Amino acid sequence: MALMITDECINCDVCEPECPNEAISQGAEIYVIDPKKCTECVGHYDEPQCVQVCPVDCIPKDPGNVESEDQLWAKYSALTGQPRP
């Protein structure tokens, strides 16, 4: 499933540059994650990089965008043009 940023976000700017899919952007009040681009870093890293760097732990899985690992891999392939290894 895609990740989301909660309203505990302090706009520290550390998550956006870590996202390999450019799924994170500045929203009206806090950073937001585009669920169409978020693969939880599948295909890039073993762990979601935004979660790793977030100092306030405000990036949980988005229950509104439930996806299997196979779906995340398919999204990775669609976004990057790279096959699943």
pLDDT of 1 above 90: no
pLDDT of 85 above 90: no
- Three-state secondary structure of 62-79: CCCCCCCHHHHHHHHHHH
**Per-residue pLDDT tens over the stretch 29-79:** 999 999 999 999 999 999 999 999 999 999 999 999 999 999 999 999 999
d(CA 61, CA 41): 12
